[in-house]
Structure 1
Amino acid sequence: MVTKKYLSVLFILLLSIPILAKDKNRITIIPHPVSINTGEGVFSLNKSTSLITNTSDIKYIKIIKQFADEFNDITNASLVLKEPGNKKGDICFFIDTSLVSKIGNEGYKLKITRNKVIITAVNESGWFYAGRTLLQLIEQEKKKNKYHYFFPCVEIEDYPRFSWRGLMLDVSRHFFSKEELKSYIHQMAKYKFNIFHLHLTDNQGWRIEIKSLPNLTKVGAWRVPRTGYWKGFLPPQPGEETTYGGFYTHEDIKELVAFAKERNVTIIPEIDVPGHSLALIASYPELSCTKKPQQVLAGDPWNVSRTNVLCVSNDSVYDVLDKIVTELSMLFPSEYIHIGGDEVNRIYWKKCSSCQSLIKKQKLKDENELQTYFIQRLSNIVKSKGKKVIGWYENLPGGLIPEMTYMSWKDYKGGIIASQKGHKVVMTPAFFTYLDFYQGDPAMENGPFTVCRLSNCYAFNPEQKDAISSNILGGQGSLWTEQVPNERKLQYMTWPRGLALAEVLWSPQEKRDWSDFVTRMEAQFPKFEEYGINYSKAFYEPILHLEREDGELFLVIETEVSDLRIFYSFDDCSPDMYYPEYKKQKVKIPKGAHHIRAISYKNGQPIGREINISIQELLSRIPQ
């Protein structure tokens, strides 16, 4: 079993890493800074604490005021910025462009002494990230029924490992409101993510207003309401109204872009074509090879009768795409536009006489090269608007498109190949980064496909052997939302795996330490709870396996994290700390047992969910 094999390797690696001594004053920043030196004492805040800066540039002033607003919101304090030019203050924001060769454009230096806090950066991005670190460093103690706030004395030099530190959200399968997206972006920015990849279109919905093509939101943005597991959704019934869905207007997008920019986050829009296009085709059926009317579906559209692929030989398709890209280019100031390009069912082209004629006319070998032809033609449209092209890596015989950036999603291999051929690459291999995959025992989760545990995410490394490192922009986590119908589930699937990815993409590889990360991660949970952010505790839960030995069945239990005690039962009763404790030994399955229950304890308290799973289910997971 892949999960078991992976975890076994991980545990061996963890045993080889020295565990840092526990210290109540340990700095718990995520992601881990490049260098950090703790000092003695604290910088205490009081009513007279003030902010100063050595610049009057409005873009810098906005960053300081934003920090002050967030700090005041957390502490109920009243930090204010003194007039530029003031040389006396307590929290100082300085610009020093000479540091660019050392800390880059997103780096910063932070020095906290008993008397002063000094932030130094090359530009406002560095200030913003220093502010994120400071907000994580806030500590408090209660004195005379009042809270006293302070920063520990520390000196930090910090800058990111990668320029592309992203999260992708699919808003097609389920629509998320503008306010929900803002909340997601705000949470991302706390941990120094800087790219928000927005998957705006797919078979289940079209989510952005294109004024020149009104049917996209009149028809393509809506489907019949369904609840449950997406593969089992019934198709639309005769006369059933399409009331589920939504879309973002131009004004919504402008507001989101501005909100993200204030948090140093760039939004990358994606229009997924020529496959994954059922919502587009339902809006304009003439764009498909069959030209038959289609309906936006709630669930899985993988049925040949449901045409979800554009007709590559139809010039009207490119006219429509030109209109779409034109409006996207106006709305999104991002350097890139994502054009999808994955999982195309080419059977439609094989049956289309017009597409077959185009293959002959263009002297292409087959439908695979026809897909390359389409991507090249759409890429030219994108580039004509002054944008760069990015898409999902597909292993097509027609070769890679010149100047195109690729997202390697199936594994690392595609990204390695693309980098070797001179292409920029964003790594997002599913096994390590797909946040729609379940993160605990599959009997307890409804995530599709397979597992991506917290430890998988932390093991992600965008820089792979044989890849051209200078062409690796970075990486991202990708959250597809077939089984994510609301904001609470959205948060649960992202956090805390998003924390692991944040550290992978920002911190130096040599600073990565799983045990230390877990401790720092746990320090974030009270903040999550304070702000109502849902998160998963699946990483605490027992991982159950069965092994056969001499005709007998044995139970084996593993965990992702240490410092846990595991208690189990075979009698179908919920175990607690008075039940047998698993001691890293194989346990023989008693005769007649049909279910196994297990639960984790930490510091004398149960933590995570109780795992309740049948022996028959565990038997089915034993590799054949």
Structure 2
Amino acid sequence: MIKIVFKLIGKGVFLIGFLIFSISALAQDKDFRLIPWPNQLEKGKGEFILKASTSIVPPSIKDKELAELLALRLKSLTGYDLKVANSAAVNNVIRFLADEHIKGGKEAYQLEVTGGNVVIKAAKPEGWFYAMQTLVQLLPANIDQRVANLGVRIPAVKIADAPHFQWRGLMVDVSRNFFSKEVIKRYILQMSKYKMNVLHLHLTDNQGWRIEIKSLPKLTEVGAWRVPRTGYWRNQKAPEAGEKATKGGFYTQDDIRELVAYGQKHFVELVPEIDVPGHSLALIASYPELSCTKGAQQVLAGDPWNASRTNVVCAGNDSVFVFLEKVIDELAGLFPSKFIHIGGDEVSRAYWDKCPVCQQRIKDEHLKSSEELQSYFLKRVSKIVLSKGKQPLGWYENLPGGLPDDMAVMSWKDDKGGILSSNKGQQVVMTPAAYTYLDFYQGDQYLENAIFSVNRLSTTFQFNPIPKGIKEENVMGGQGSLWTEQVPNERKLQAMTWPRAFALSETLWSGPAKRSWSNFIDRVESHLPVLDKDTVNYSRYFYDAIVSGVRGADKTLLINLSTEIEGLKIYYSFDDTDPDPYYPVYAGIPLSIPKGAQNIRVITYRNGVQVGRLMKIPVTELERRTPVK
């Protein structure tokens, strides 16, 4: 999806000491580093000693696989090869129990750690699974072999927990850049550790069609490949004469079945998206007869907004709907999810305005405009989805003909779409770009390939899926959405997701009211070594200084420095040397720029240790950002 650039109101996302009310201080004891924070936590006395002889007792033989999953995770952390069996042992046991009286739904659980045992109670396997994730987080972050030989100490605690929202999602755009099924599996595993439960796959767009449709083989023979290009997304060179399309890939239907099964094992639901009628250049390159122009096209290797490229299917052509029914029929057979996402956003209706077939459709259906034709198209595709036993889901668009009544809506531009749709009785998933778009840059725009806007960790933490005026009972939850125009590999995919997904996990599981920024940051920092151990990349830009300009009384440029988190010292220089703790420290007063200075260099330290990047920002860049009013 091509996004608009958002201004954050009041620019209040960079507050030092950022404050969000917590409930009863959430009892967020520093002995516990849990993400997301549980509903209820009561610290106990003593500790459980996990040993090589500890056994894991599943609730029944049919649930043994779940206990084995816990044993495998504990082995990776401790080296212990724990026995999974119907043990009669009384002490030093991790025991799963079925309890139909647990309140909070199928994902709710109770976890009690005492000196003798660990007891996990839940009504359904989902609850046991999430209790397992909490239990693993209770272990020390780093366990060396010497500690493991003596036993691993887990603090005594009693936890009662359940999620606030049913949809706790992340979206990955696999069209702009393709990621193998192995990468997606690792992504599923990581998100499941933090109780995220929906992976929305954006499978098609202008830059690639990523799923095998057996009845329409050209979609992957042609649509899954483009000419290779490396670097910044915009203004990439067009394909040269005779240049082969070798970059890309797709998931076979067996790959999808494997991913779905892996997701089910980790209680992550995979939701497919086929984006129509716009964002369809890869489809049209495969089957050009489905466009208004019917001319030959090539899969895009860069920025799509070029008038010569037809990326919209013909809404007046009945064969388009026959085609889409074939696609949706095969999708419905592959994905157990009740939802199929049909896109529906950012349609360039200029093609329809010039197309006699589309204009005839407008006349025949008594429509007033091409905008109403977009509504007609979405309603017709929604009926196809419903006929396959699935519920349509789409991006919110403000159309005069309205969105289909049976379509669930993703509110992406802001909160307004979710508010309007929820009050009409539609289910909504909140993913407002300013807070949840994970392709937005996390640090200084000058130092990143910043094509849109900023979304710092503190910004994501402010995400509220229940804005004023929304009908809360129709809010399924929310998600972070990662468009991958500038995400060419797995390491960047990870760094754009973490730690911002921690903030999403916290909000969507614990609820928007139960948040404490300072405590959250402490817990985030305690999880960074865990990510390191799991070889998961992450951004450290929340440690960076924030450099901004302000105009003095005489309109001269002054420089403000700040940080997202408390306790950091900012050192700076104007003389093009690299600052360290022996340089001037920022004292909170805007800095005058010395005559002749061309750059400011800043760095952050905490307790004498460098934590942020050394940043070099040209004065001309700050002049550009700070216009004279």
Aligned to 1:27: 32
Note if 1:7 corresponds to 2:48: no
Tell me if the contact between 1:278 and 1:309 (Cα under 8 Å) persists in the aligned partners.
yes
For 1:280-295, list aligned pairs within 5 A.
280-295=283-298
Which of 486, 489, 496 is residue 489 of structure 2 equivalent to? 486
Aligned to 1:312: 315
Aligned to 1:231: 234
Rounded to whole Å, the distance in 2 between the matches of 1:546 and 1:321 is: 51
Alpha-carbon distance, 1:547 to partner: 1.3
Which of 570, 573, 582 is residue 569 of structure 1 equivalent to? 573
Residue type at the aligned position of 1:113: T
Which of 190, 193, 197 is residue 194 of structure 1 equivalent to? 197
Note if 1:106 corresponds to 2:107: yes
Residue type at the aligned position of 2:527: Q
Note if 1:116 corresponds to 2:128: no
Aligned to 1:245: 248
Note if 1:51 corresponds to 2:51: no
Q: Which one has more relative contact order, counting CA pairs under 8 Å at least 6 apart?
A: 2
User: Is 330-339 or 67-76 further displaced after alignment?
Assistant: 67-76
Aligned to 1:518: 521
Which of 429, 454, 458 is residue 426 of structure 1 equivalent to? 429
Q: Per the alignment, do residues 98 and 612 of structure 1 end up closer, same or farther by CA in structure 2, a change over 3 Å counting?
A: same
Residue type at the aligned position of 2:608: G
Alpha-carbon distance, 1:46 to partner: 1.7
Residue type at the aligned position of 2:529: P
Rounded to whole Å, the distance in 2 between the matches of 1:15 and 1:218 is: 51
Rounded to whole Å, the distance in 2 between the matches of 1:210 and 1:282 is: 15
Rounded to whole Å, the distance in 2 between the matches of 1:130 and 1:93 is: 10
Alpha-carbon distance, 1:7 to partner: 3.0
Note if 1:411 corresponds to 2:381: no
Note if 1:352 corresponds to 2:355: yes
Rounded to whole Å, the distance in 1 between the matches of 2:322 and 2:227 is: 29
Aligned to 1:183: 186
Aligned to 2:3: none
Rounded to whole Å, the distance in 2 between the matches of 1:384 and 1:20 is: 49
Q: Per the alignment, do residues 410 and 15 of structure 1 end up closer, same or farther by CA in structure 2, a change over 3 Å counting?
A: closer
Tell me if the contact between 1:55 and 1:85 (Cα under 8 Å) persists in the aligned partners.
no
Alpha-carbon distance, 1:402 to partner: 1.2
SS of residue paired to 1:185: helix
Q: Deviations over 1:286-331 (max 9, x none)?
A: 0000000000011011112100000001111011101100110111
Q: Per the alignment, do residues 142 and 89 of structure 1 end up closer, same or farther by CA in structure 2, a change over 3 Å counting?
A: closer
Rounded to whole Å, the distance in 2 between the matches of 1:85 and 1:119 is: 17
Rounded to whole Å, the distance in 2 between the matches of 1:145 and 1:258 is: 33
Tell me if the contact between 2:14 and 2:563 (Cα under 8 Å) persists in the aligned partners.
no
Tell me if the contact between 1:54 and 1:85 (Cα under 8 Å) persists in the aligned partners.
no
Alpha-carbon distance, 1:385 to partner: 0.4
Rounded to whole Å, the distance in 1 between the matches of 2:22 and 2:269 is: 36
Identity of aligned residues (%): 52
Tell me if the contact between 2:39 and 2:161 (Cα under 8 Å) persists in the aligned partners.
yes
Rounded to whole Å, the distance in 1 between the matches of 2:147 and 2:507 is: 42
User: Is 20-29 or 351-360 further displaced after alignment?
Assistant: 20-29
Alpha-carbon distance, 1:40 to partner: 2.2
TM-score under structure 2 length normalisation: 0.95
Tell me if the contact between 1:225 and 1:244 (Cα under 8 Å) persists in the aligned partners.
yes
Residue type at the aligned position of 2:558: F
Alpha-carbon distance, 1:110 to partner: 0.5
Which of 547, 551, 557 is residue 553 of structure 1 equivalent to? 557
Q: Per the alignment, do residues 25 and 427 of structure 1 end up closer, same or farther by CA in structure 2, a change over 3 Å counting?
A: closer
Aligned to 2:608: 604
Which of 592, 599, 604 is residue 595 of structure 1 equivalent to? 599
Tell me if the contact between 1:54 and 1:84 (Cα under 8 Å) persists in the aligned partners.
no
Rounded to whole Å, the distance in 2 between the matches of 1:380 and 1:604 is: 63
Which of 618, 623, 627 is residue 619 of structure 1 equivalent to? 623
Q: Per the alignment, do residues 144 and 176 of structure 1 end up closer, same or farther by CA in structure 2, a change over 3 Å counting?
A: closer
Aligned to 1:270: 273
Rounded to whole Å, the distance in 2 between the matches of 1:33 and 1:267 is: 25
Q: Per the alignment, do residues 10 and 162 of structure 1 end up closer, same or farther by CA in structure 2, a change over 3 Å counting?
A: farther
Tell me if the contact between 2:92 and 2:116 (Cα under 8 Å) persists in the aligned partners.
no
Tell me if the contact between 1:51 and 1:90 (Cα under 8 Å) persists in the aligned partners.
yes
Tell me if the contact between 2:13 and 2:458 (Cα under 8 Å) persists in the aligned partners.
no
SS of residue paired to 1:271: strand
Tell me if the contact between 1:275 and 1:308 (Cα under 8 Å) persists in the aligned partners.
yes
Rounded to whole Å, the distance in 2 between the matches of 1:309 and 1:8 is: 37
Rounded to whole Å, the distance in 1 between the matches of 2:48 and 2:461 is: 33
Alpha-carbon distance, 1:233 to partner: 0.8
SS of residue paired to 1:581: coil
For 1:431-470, list aligned pairs within 5 A.
431-470=434-473
Note if 1:279 corresponds to 2:297: no
Rounded to whole Å, the distance in 2 between the matches of 1:160 and 1:260 is: 19
Tell me if the contact between 2:79 and 2:148 (Cα under 8 Å) persists in the aligned partners.
no
Aligned to 1:301: 304
For 1:336-351, list aligned pairs within 5 A.
336-351=339-354
Q: Deviations over 1:62-82 (max 9, x none)?
A: 211111111112111021122
Rounded to whole Å, the distance in 1 between the matches of 2:167 and 2:403 is: 21
User: Is 297-306 or 368-377 further displaced after alignment?
Assistant: 297-306
Rounded to whole Å, the distance in 1 between the matches of 2:125 and 2:26 is: 36
Aligned to 2:401: 398
Q: Per the alignment, do residues 18 and 362 of structure 1 end up closer, same or farther by CA in structure 2, a change over 3 Å counting?
A: closer
TM-score under structure 1 length normalisation: 0.96
Alpha-carbon distance, 1:400 to partner: 2.2
Q: Where do 5+ consecutive residues of structure 2 fail to align?
A: 1-5
Q: Per the alignment, do residues 572 and 207 of structure 1 end up closer, same or farther by CA in structure 2, a change over 3 Å counting?
A: same
Alpha-carbon distance, 1:611 to partner: 1.4
Residue type at the aligned position of 1:128: F
Rounded to whole Å, the distance in 2 between the matches of 1:36 and 1:11 is: 28
Alpha-carbon distance, 1:532 to partner: 1.3
Aligned to 1:383: 386
Alpha-carbon distance, 1:145 to partner: 8.8
Rounded to whole Å, the distance in 2 between the matches of 1:473 and 1:222 is: 35
Alpha-carbon distance, 1:89 to partner: 5.9
Note if 1:157 corresponds to 2:160: yes
Rounded to whole Å, the distance in 2 between the matches of 1:85 and 1:19 is: 40
Rounded to whole Å, the distance in 1 between the matches of 2:192 and 2:291 is: 40
Rounded to whole Å, the distance in 2 between the matches of 1:4 and 1:597 is: 28
Aligned to 1:41: 46
Tell me if the contact between 2:274 and 2:343 (Cα under 8 Å) persists in the aligned partners.
yes
Q: Per the alignment, do residues 587 and 599 of structure 1 end up closer, same or farther by CA in structure 2, a change over 3 Å counting?
A: same
Q: Per the alignment, do residues 19 and 541 of structure 1 end up closer, same or farther by CA in structure 2, a change over 3 Å counting?
A: farther
Rounded to whole Å, the distance in 2 between the matches of 1:429 and 1:298 is: 27
Alpha-carbon distance, 1:610 to partner: 1.2
Which of 464, 475, 479 is residue 476 of structure 1 equivalent to? 479
Tell me if the contact between 2:227 and 2:239 (Cα under 8 Å) persists in the aligned partners.
yes
Alpha-carbon distance, 1:397 to partner: 0.5
Note if 1:544 corresponds to 2:547: yes
Tell me if the contact between 1:7 and 1:560 (Cα under 8 Å) persists in the aligned partners.
no
Alpha-carbon distance, 1:554 to partner: 1.8
Residue type at the aligned position of 2:274: I
Q: Deviations over 1:431-466 (max 9, x none)?
A: 000000101000111132110110111000101111
Q: Where do 5+ consecutive residues of structure 1 fail to align?
A: none
Alpha-carbon distance, 1:369 to partner: 0.3
Rounded to whole Å, the distance in 2 between the matches of 1:274 and 1:539 is: 38
Alpha-carbon distance, 1:558 to partner: 1.3
Rounded to whole Å, the distance in 2 between the matches of 1:104 and 1:475 is: 18
Residue type at the aligned position of 1:238: A
Alpha-carbon distance, 1:21 to partner: 13
